[in-house]
Amino acid sequence: MVSSSSHNERNENQVPNIDNESFKEGMNDSNAVLLDVRTPKEHSEKRIPNSILIDFQEPDFADAVDQLDKTKSYFVYCRSGNRSFHAGNLMLKKGFTDVYNLAMGILEWNGETESDQFE
């Protein structure tokens, strides 16, 4: 479990917001899954490498999440941290136990990124 410097205790009903360094540390764990909950267009423009895409705004988001392995640790991000926060809370309600939100989203991400765009 990743520790969050801004939280002394983990609220089991709310996904913890973690900073870039904690996110980087956690996503390198062998049990970690990077989950991008933005739109396909946003995902193609800029994403954290090795992330999977499940668009939070799609009506089948909850069904898609149900297909994920609940034994994994999920590091969820979006543009600014809002959609991923709500997605993470939904995941907790569905029985996931290890879910973390990138607090400021990819806007403030200082790690590696990739895109489908040609330069």
pLDDT at 10 over 80: no
Query: For 17-108, which CATH class?
Result: alpha beta
Which sequence spans correspond to the domains of the chain?
17-108
- Given this model, what pLDDT does residue 99 score? 98
Query: Among candidates 24, 11, 28, 41, which has minimal Cα distance to 102?
Result: 24
CA dihedral 77, 3, 49, 62 (to 10 degrees): -40
Note the pLDDT tens digit of each residue in 31-67. 999 999 999 999 999 999 999 999 999 999 999 999 9
- Given this model, what pLDDT does residue 117 score? 72
- Given this model, what pLDDT does residue 13 score? 83
